[in-house]
Amino acid sequence: MLLDLSAWRILLQAVADAWAENVERFSEIDSAYGDGDHGVTMGKIARLISREVGSPGATGETPGDATTIKQVLRRIGNGVMAIGGGSAGPLYGTLFLGLAAPLDPGAQATDAATLAAMIVGARAELSTITKARVGDKTMVDALAPAAEAAWEARGDGIVAVLGAAAQAAAEGADATANMIARFGRARSYGEQTVGTPDAGALSTSLLFKGLNDGLAKLGRA
C-alpha cells in the first residue's frame, strides 16, 4: 500500500477534524495552567488544513493547488507558522515542515518506510527550535514515542506504522498527566500541573489519531 496525494488529503482532513472536534477540550486544559487559547489556535490550524486539503464535498471548498505531497505539507507548515497562535503556530508549523523534509520534491506517493522517516523528521525538526525532552510535559511527550514506534514498525506496512504511532502518542499524552510542566506557560505552575495532561501533548496525540482515522476511512472507501 502507498499513500498518494489524494490519500494524504484525506488523512490530513481527518487530522483537521480530530482537532476541530476537541477545540473546547484544548482550551479547558490550557485555561487551568496556561492562558486558555490552545483551542482557539488549534481551531485555526484545523481550518487552515481544511482549506488546503478539503474536498468540495466535505467542506464546500476546493483543495489548494499543490501538486505534490511535499508541497501540501510545506504549504500547511508555512501557513501554520504564520498563524499568530503563540507557541503552537511555530511549533506545529515546524512539525509539518519536518514531516515534509524527508520527501523528494517530486514524490507522488509514500510507502511505510518513508512515512516513518517523515514522522522521525518531524521530531528532528522540532528539536531544532525547542529543547523540550520526553518528561517535560510538552507535545514532545507524544511526538517522540510516536516517532520511535513508527520507525520500529517501518517494515510492517503503513497500517502498522500509523497504528503504532497513534498508540504510542496517546500513551505518551496520557503519561503527561503525572508530569510537572517544565516548558511554556504551564511551567509557572510547577507541581500544581500534576493530574492534568498537557494540552500540546494531547493535540499532538490527536494528530496521529487523525492520521490513523483517515487511513481507516481510506480503507473503507
- 197 lines the binding site for other proteins (CB under 8 A): no
H/E stretch holding 59: helix 56-59
Amino acid letter, residue 7: A
Of 57 and 191, nearer to other proteins (C-beta) is: 191
Crossing angle of helices 88-100 and 112-126, rounded to 10°? 140
Q: How many residues form the binding site for other proteins (CB under 8 A)?
A: 36
Spatial contact of 198 and 182, defined as CB atoms under 8 Å apart: no
* Nearer residue to other proteins within complex by CB, 28 or 61: 28
Interface pick for other proteins out of 31, 59, 71, 127 (rule CB under 8 A): 31
133 contacts other proteins (rule: CB under 8 A): no
93 binds other proteins (CB under 8 A): yes
195 touches other proteins by CB under 8 A: no
Q: Which range touches other proteins (CB under 8 A), out of 9-17, 27-35, 169-177, 205-213?
A: 27-35
Contact between 27 and other proteins (CB under 8 A)?
Answer: yes
| 118, 207, 128, 88: CA torsion to nearest 10 | 150
Nearer to other proteins, 116 or 126 (CB): 126
What is the smallest separation between the CB atom of 187 and other proteins, expressed in angstroms?
8
201 binds other proteins (CB under 8 A): no
